[in-house]
Amino acid sequence: MQERLDWIRAYDRTRDATAICRQYGISRATLRKWWLRYEAEGAAGLAERSRAPLRSPNRRADEGTTARILALRDRGLGLRRIEATLRAEDGVALSLSTIRRVLARARPEATPPAPARPTPRAALTDPAMEEGLTAQLAEAITQGLFRPGERLTEEGLARRFGVGRTRVREALRELSFLGLVTLERNRGAFVSRPSAEDVGRAYAARRVVEAGVVTELAARIGGCADCTELGVLRRHVEAQAAAQAAGHRVRLVKLLTGFHLEMARLVGNPFLLAFLEKLTATTSLAVLLHRQPDRPACAVEEHRAILDAVAAGATERAARLVCEHLGDGGVRAEKAN
């Protein structure tokens, strides 16, 4: 382990893989393997590991683990949350199918059926699929399992959640859109950490910007019942209501944020849109961190009211409603998106 640490420290100083491999007599593949482990887990990742598979169809849960699974289920945890908790808190790695079999034997009436494997197209279009890993990561961040500013590595998250790195990469991009994660070029992904002051300033800036957005939209398309722009915004609000009804919180927050960005896009000013995207990244994080379940529901109805004012060409009412909707920053952060 000490020898591996020497490789890693030398590579970290020089970033010259060819020289390091020559100096220590190792292959580039070997250096890469241990470097990735070190990035994901620190020095502990350089220890030898058992070659026994972490997941095996033949691995069984003993009586103690069975009792633990049932206790976690009684706390309302789903299968993936049970699997992640067993791994993190008990050091026990069981597959989802094994956990499902344990529950089926003990409580067959309350065991969720095994999900059908989605096709690639279904994974792209089904909101439940979109909600999956992205929602789990969002849940972990908002519950404090990852600290603000903590680095999130693809390999470490893939191992923790039992998925491929491609899915992790896509989920990190989604969370970057929501403001939960910051993606830094050549450094990776980090848990965002806006201060309450940052959130308040972001909302103040949004009120100024978006009052202008809705005023311009109302003046341009108000009174045009069948115009394309109003149709786009109406369908957007209906998608928000559907996500709310289905209980897809992460998707809902994404759609709530997207509604404001869609209005800015319809104005046709790319600089304005880019500025608003940065502001909404900060305020979306506040929505997910302050987990008040009634506020997103209110936000959907407030979006309807704003859209009605725009459709009627009521410029002053639209501006007033959007400012009220965005609240007063950190105090009412959950109200808006």
Which CATH number do you get for residue 307?
1.20.120.530
Residues 274-307 pLDDT 10s: 788 878 877 766 666 655 444 555 789 999 999 9
Task: Over range 225-235, report the average pLDDT.
Answer: 88
**Amino acid (one-letter) located at 158:** A
Of the residues 157, 191, 225, the one at which a domain ends: 191
Query: Is residue 267 domain-resident?
Result: yes
Report residue 14's pLDDT band, with 50, 70 and 90 as the boundaries.
confident
Indicate the average pLDDT of the chain.
78
**Helical segments of 247-293, H only:** 249-267, 270-289
Query: Is residue 115 domain-resident?
Result: no
Q: Specify whether 80 is located in the same domain as 141.
A: no
Task: Over range 8-35, report the average pLDDT.
Answer: 80
Task: Over range 164-172, report the average pLDDT.
Answer: 89
Residue 55's alpha-carbon distances to 47, 48, 92, 157, 284, in angstroms, are: 20, 18, 10, 16, 36
pLDDT higher than threshold 70 for residue 309:
yes
Q: What is the pLDDT of residue 288?
A: 62
pLDDT higher than threshold 50 for residue 329:
no
Report residue 249's pLDDT band, with 50, 70 and 90 as the boundaries.
confident
Beta strands in the chain (DSSP E): 151-152, 181-184, 188-191
Q: Specify whether 182 is located in the same domain as 299.
A: no
Report CA dihedral (40, 42, 47, 52) to the nearest 10 degrees.
Answer: -20
pLDDT higher than threshold 60 for residue 246:
yes
pLDDT higher than threshold 50 for residue 116:
no
Q: Specify whether 180 is located in the same domain as 200.
A: no
119 or 59, higher pLDDT: 59
pLDDT higher than threshold 80 for residue 267:
yes
Q: Specify whether 163 is located in the same domain as 216.
A: no
Q: What is the pLDDT of residue 177?
A: 75
Q: Specify whether 23 is located in the same domain as 68.
A: no
Phi, psi angles (nearest 5°) of residue 225: -60, -30
Query: Is residue 56 domain-resident?
Result: no
Q: What is the pLDDT of residue 237?
A: 93
Place of tokens 């590595």: 153
Q: Specify whether 327 is located in the same domain as 213.
A: yes
- Which range has the worst mean pLDDT, 70-84, 85-99, 280-294? 280-294
Report CA dihedral (63, 64, 67, 69) to the nearest 10 degrees.
Answer: -110
Assessment of whether the complete model's pTM goes beyond 0.85: no
Query: Is residue 21 domain-resident?
Result: yes
What's the token pair of residue 322? Answer: 């959007």
Q: Specify whether 255 is located in the same domain as 213.
A: yes
% of the chain beyond a pLDDT of 90: 19
Task: Over range 9-25, report the average pLDDT.
Answer: 80
Residue 245's alpha-carbon distances to 53, 251, 297, in angstroms, are: 40, 11, 9
Query: Is residue 54 domain-resident?
Result: no
Query: Is residue 53 domain-resident?
Result: no
Q: Specify whether 177 is located in the same domain as 219.
A: no
Q: What is the pLDDT of residue 318?
A: 94
pLDDT higher than threshold 70 for residue 109:
no
Query: Is residue 51 domain-resident?
Result: no
Q: Specify whether 16 is located in the same domain as 78.
A: no
% of the chain beyond a pLDDT of 70: 80
Of the residues 90, 110, 130, the one at which a domain ends: 110
Q: Specify whether 222 is located in the same domain as 294.
A: yes
CATH number reported for the structural domain that contains residue 181 in this entry: 1.10.10.10
Query: Is residue 55 domain-resident?
Result: no
263 or 94, higher pLDDT: 263
Q: Specify whether 70 is located in the same domain as 42.
A: no
Q: Specify whether 128 is located in the same domain as 96.
A: no
Residues 185-202 pLDDT 10s: 888 999 887 778 888 888
pLDDT higher than threshold 90 for residue 254:
no
**Amino acid (one-letter) located at 253:** V
Q: What is the pLDDT of residue 322?
A: 94
Report residue 111's pLDDT band, with 50, 70 and 90 as the boundaries.
low
Q: Are 323 and 211 in contact (CB under 8 A)?
A: yes
**How many domains would you assign to the chain?**
4
Q: Are 242 and 236 in contact (CB under 8 A)?
A: no
Q: Which domain holds residue 39?
A: 2-46
- Which range has the worst mean pLDDT, 73-77, 168-172, 231-235? 73-77
Q: What is the pLDDT of residue 214?
A: 95
> For residue 247, with 0-12 CB atoms within 10 Å meaning exposed, 13-18 middle and 19 or more buried, which class applies?
exposed
Report residue 35's pLDDT band, with 50, 70 and 90 as the boundaries.
confident
